[in-house]
Structures are given as C-alpha cells and as structure tokens.
Amino acid sequence: MRKTSTSYEAPHRPGVVRAVNAILERMQSLTFARADLSFESLVREAERRSKERWTIDMEDVEAPLEALLRAIEDEARLHPIGRFITRERIVSTLANRMRVEAASQALPGELAALSPIVIVGLPRTGTTLLHRLLAADPSVRSLTSWEALTPARLRNDPDDLARVRIAERSESALAFLAPDFFAVHPIDAHAPEEDVLLLDLSFRSTVAESTLRVPSFSRWLEGQDQLPAYRILEKSLRLMQHQRPESRKTHWVLKTPHHLEWLDVLLEVFPKATFVWTHRDLGDVVPSFCSMLSHARGVFSDVVDTHEIGRSWLRKGARMMARGLEVRAKRKDRFVDVQYEDLIADPVAQVKRIHAHAGLAWDRESEDCVKDRLRTQRKDRFGEHVYRLADFGLQRSDLTNAFGVDAGRG
C-alpha cells in the first residue's frame, strides 16, 4: 500500500508547477507576474464575477479580510502559484458572499428553527467518517462539497450543473497538486463537506490558518466576535433549503473543529443544536493533524516549518478543548460522546445512538443507508497516512502539559 510522504519540508510539486513558479519568480518585478492581493482589487473582481452589487456591510468584511491580507503578505511565504490560488480563493469567497446576500432577500420571513446535529470533536478523531455516515440517513440534511464551494445558485444554472463542475474541478486540481492529501483527508465533490467554508464567508474562520502560515491572523481571530460568522452560516443553510425544496429538513448534520472553540456562539444562533463530541488518544490526534496541516501548507508554499506547526497547533488545540469544556459544563444535556475505538468497531451502533439523543427516528431505511455509505468509506483507500509525533518537535509529555493530566483522550 502506498504511504504518504513525511518529507514535509520538501513538498510534492509537479514539474510543470515548479517550472512556472521558477519563471514567475524571475519576473516578480512585473505587475502581471504577481497576483494582486489588495482589498480593492479583490472586491472589484468579486463584483465582476458574481454580477452582483456590493451590498455587504463594509465593517462586516473589511476588518477581517484586511487582517488576513496583512498576515498573508507578511507571513505566508507563498510561491507564485500559491499566491495566485490564494487570490482565486478570496475572490470566490467574496463573490459567494455577494450571491448569498442577494439571493437571501427572497427567503420567507417565518422559518422553522433549525435543529442541527453538530460534530465538534478535535480534528482527526473520526469526525469525517462519522459526518458522512450521519449524512447518509435520508431524514437529515447535509452540506455537500459542491454546495459549500458555491452556496448560492448561479444564474442560468437551474439544475446546479455548473456548481457541481466547480467542485469537481477543485477536487481534480487538488489531486494533481497534492495527491498525498487524499490519504490524509479524502475530498469528494459529491460528499458531505465541513460548514467551516460557510463560516468563512465572513472571513472569521480557521480556513486560512489550516492552509497558510498566518499566525498574526490566527491570534487576531481569537479575539473577535464570532456572531457574524454564525449568522452567515445560518443564512446560507436557510438559502440552500429554499433552493432545494426536496431537502427542506430542519435537522442538518454539521461538522468542523472550528465549532469546538465557539460552542457558546453556536448555541446562541442554533439553540436546538445537539453536539457530538468525538474522542481519540491525543498521541494520534496531534501528529495526524499536524501532518494534515503540513501537507496543506505545502500546496501554497515551499517553506513548511513542521516544528512551528507542532507548537502552534498544540496551543490552538488546548485552547479549543478548554473553551469547549466550559460550555459543556453548563450544557451537558446537549452533548453525546463517541469514542474513536467504538466508532471503528461498530459505526452503525454509534449513529443509531446519536439519532436517539437528537430525537430522530431510526428505521430499516436509516440503517440500510448508513451501511451502504459505510461500504465506500474504507480506511486507507487512498493510501496509508503516516505520521510521527517527533516530526513536529513534540513528545508525549508536551501533550500532557498542554492539555492537562487527562490528555489521553482528545
């Protein structure tokens, strides 16, 4: 079985990408050879692509985006193609936000409260497997990858074929740029995706720090009000229900580690939420996620400092855990726990248990759909993900010091 590379400081780079980067590096003095990451340029291009007027409250977007752009310029160390991809992503995010705001004006005034099942465990604790199994049940609604990448319906695309093609092209591009990444975290244009991409419509999400070296933005984000991000998440989910009447279910299945840090805000927007907290030995969780970050950053930069990633993620992970436990202590009734070993041993039983806690019915159709999805989720189907704690300058004692004496479970 093919194994993932652990040569993080020498990221995989297709020959054509290396060649184009080399050419552009020599031409950096020329304007066209360096992607423009100025706020004004990004907004103008987003308006052109979205074909929508800028109707967003400037205060809602300008401060976080400016903070992100400063961090990218000062810290991210992007290679030329990485800079171009970053510009494309930011423009796409702005255009999506404009489309969501414009399309949401047609939403009905009175809508039923959403009751999401929210997977909130630390990354690499089985959250992706559980997310896809929960989403297989026809009684719930999930966010597909193609919806996450383009949340509002495009003009002249009533069947959403263009939105699907955008996601398929993104999947193919990532497979070309970073084939190892699929063994770490499988990407599928048609599968359920993390709703952090909707939170990112406010530029108040951990999307940037999961793919780029932007420590100042990460610190800035921790001190910001997350309510605007969760409001746009709710608005986006409402819009997608309205766009697909056959999927107007109030029970969504959501998932992103971002939530663990902001459960109090999530409950303010979704007071009927059920939290599923997944747990796994931190000796596996921490190096696995550091490996994922290292592979992701290698797509955009030729400089990947694994020890820096280890230190920063240890601090971030401990903060997420501490903040999640604060909310859990006050609202224990909203939580259901899933151990990684139990999920691997009997995934159907864990899904059934979560259904019961969320007040959802469980029948033969539910079980058959979950079992069908399970057959496509074989571990290591894209290769074996190899990772070692020492690769990130960490020892087991570092985990105990960061997370506390109960650091065995994440």
- The pLDDT, as a whole number, for residue 28 is 73
Which domains, and CATH codes, for the chain?
Answer: 116-403 (3.40.50.300)
Q: What is the pLDDT of residue 247?
A: 62
Question: How much is the pTM?
Answer: 0.94
Q: What is the pLDDT along the chain (410 residues), one digit of tens a residue?
A: 788 888 998 899 999 999 999 998 888 766 666 899 999 999 999 999 998 877 777 778 999 999 999 999 999 999 999 999 999 999 999 999 999 999 998 887 666 778 999 999 999 999 999 999 999 999 899 999 999 999 999 999 989 999 999 999 999 999 999 998 988 888 999 999 999 999 999 999 999 999 999 999 999 999 999 999 999 999 999 999 888 776 667 789 999 999 999 999 999 999 999 999 999 999 999 999 999 999 999 999 999 999 999 999 999 999 999 999 999 999 999 999 999 999 999 999 999 999 999 999 999 999 999 999 999 888 778 888 999 999 999 999 999 999 985 555 66
At residue 213, the pLDDT reads: 98
With 0-12 CB in 10 A as exposed, 13-18 as middle and 19+ as buried, what is 283? middle
Say what the pLDDT of residue 30 is: 63
